[in-house]
Amino acid sequence: MPPLPLASTLLLLLAILSSSSPAAGQRDGPATGTSRFREAPLFYNAPSCPAPLPPGPDSACSPDALVHVAMTLDVTYLRGSMAAVLSVLQHTACPQSIFFHFVATSAAGYLSATVAGSFPSLAFQIHPFADEPTVAGLISTSVRAALDRPLNYARSYLPRLIPQCVRRVVYLDSDLVLVDDIAGLASTPIPDGVALAAPEYCNANFTSYFTPTFWANPALSVAFEGRRACYFNTGVMVMELGRWRDGGYTERIEEWMDLQKRMRIYELGSLPPFLLVFAGRIAAVEHRWNQHGLGGDNYRGLCRDLHPGPVSLLHWSGKGKPWARLDGGRPCPVDAIWAPYDLLLRTTFPIDDS
């Protein structure tokens, strides 16, 4: 029998997943208990790769670490993070030469044990987010509560958290999977003097990311003067950490956040401060490395199709997350691509002894 076309395969997977999903309303998160995950397969380096990194945090500065990956880690989005890690390891030629940096605000012991349990050979370190109190005081409410968590702003503080021996890091959100070798993304050319690379979308309505108050004030809108400012999604970025520190970019982002507390100049979480500092000043990455928007908009999370063109990374940015839609029995067609990376074993419910 000839292989099914992609569309038919997705529909078949979707039917199977929908029929076997838990009851509608069940969700992964701290409010209902702690989740347990199965052990992932072990993936081995190709002969051309360096010697494998030892598991744990001790090899962060090893020259054998070919790619450094940074992600946030918390109980709420742990299921997505675990799937993302599995996808990175499964599709790279040198899975034992990747070092993961996880930023966490709480439950570090549980998170570390969970990651090590599913990935016993993983080289990783959990970095406590020491700047959380500062960030919490700078955050303004946005269109969706999930965007207002301090951990959502941790990407701005990676150069403070990650050891200075690490020159370049790939930042990934927790609601994505890779279907290509992350080494290709990590090797993106970044010109001298540029600290950041990401896919740009210059056809997007850039003005909509800021309020009329911002655009009506020449002292503010002059920030984009002389720049070809385009929208970019901060869920997938390649960061030159030394250049970031030298440019004081964390402090610049904080300055815009502080202004936002006094004068409403944007509505959408951690993205606009990044645009104010970096739009028009980044290196371009091919669009295949961030097929974003698969979670729909920030209000209803409706289904969306893949963008035309090749795909190396699928990103469920927006309100709709694939694990929640699968558990609710209402998955979108693209959620069938995420499902094979789901390591969730079962959910346990601790007894309340208060």
pTM of the predicted structure, to 2 decimals: 0.87
Indicate the pLDDT class of residue 319, thresholds 50, 70 and 90.
Answer: confident
Task: Report pLDDT for 166.
Answer: 98
Over 50: is that where the pLDDT of 9 sits? Answer: no
- 111 Cβ contact partners less than 8 Å away, ≥ 6 residues apart: 73, 74, 75, 78, 102, 104, 126
Indicate the pLDDT class of residue 109, thresholds 50, 70 and 90.
Answer: very high
The Cα 303–Cα 296 span in angstroms is 6
Q: What is the average pLDDT across 183-199?
A: 97
- The size of the chain, in residues, is 354
- 298 Cβ contact partners less than 8 Å away, ≥ 6 residues apart: 143, 144, 147, 268, 318, 319
| Residues 290-300: tens digit of each pLDDT | 999 999 876 66
| Residues 341-351: tens digit of each pLDDT | 999 986 554 43
SS3 228: coil
% of residues, the chain, pLDDT over 90: 75
- 300 Cβ contact partners less than 8 Å away, ≥ 6 residues apart: 319, 320
| Residues 64-97: tens digit of each pLDDT | 999 999 999 999 999 999 999 999 999 999 999 9
Over 80: is that where the pLDDT of 218 sits? Answer: yes
